[in-house]
A and B are shown apart, each in its own frame.
Chain A
Amino acid sequence: MQANTLSGGFTKPAAQSAHAFRRVLEAMARPGTIQDIEGAAPPAPMSPAMGAVLLTLCDTETPVYLAGDMDCEAVRTWLAFHTGAPFVGPAHCMFAVGSWDALAPLAVYPIGTSEYPDRSATLIVERSELSVKGATLTGPGIKGQTTLSVPDVDAFQTNRKLFPLGLDFILTSGARLAALPRSTKVS
Chain B
Amino acid sequence: MKDTVSEINPRKDWMGLMAKAPQGRVAALLDAEISRPAFTWLRAPELGSTMVRAGATGAAFNLGEMTITRCALTLDTGEVGHSYIQGRQKADAEAAALVDALMQTEMASRLRETVLKPLQAEMVTAKAARAAKAAATKVDFFTMTRGED
Contacts and interface: CB of A to CB of B under 8 A. Distances in A.
A7 B40 contact: yes
Determine the interface band of chain B, counting residues with CB < 8 A from chain A: 10 to 19
B78 to A, nearest CB: 6
B122 interface: no
A9 B42 CA distance: 7
A1 B78 CA distance: 9
A3 B80 contact: yes
B69 interface: no
B42 A3 contact: yes
A13 B46 contact: yes
B74 interface: yes
Contacts, number: 25
A1 B43 contact: no
B16 to A, nearest CB: 19
Which of A3, A7, A81, A82 has the most chain B CB atoms closer than 10 A to its own CB? Answer: A3
Contact of B80 (A6, A9, A13): A6
Contacts of B78: 2-3
Contact of B74 (A6, A11, A13, A82): A6
Contacts of B80: 1-3, 6
B46 A6 contact: no
A7 B72 CA distance: 10
Interface string A1-38: 11100110101010000000000000000000000000
Interface of B: 40-44, 46, 72, 74, 78-80
Interface of A: 1-3, 6-7, 9, 11, 13, 81-82
25 contacts: A1-B80, A2-B78, A2-B80, A3-B42, A3-B74, A3-B78, A3-B79, A3-B80, A6-B42, A6-B72, A6-B74, A6-B80, A7-B40, A7-B42, A7-B74, A9-B42, A9-B43, A11-B41, A11-B44, A13-B44, A13-B46, A81-B42, A81-B43, A81-B72, A82-B43
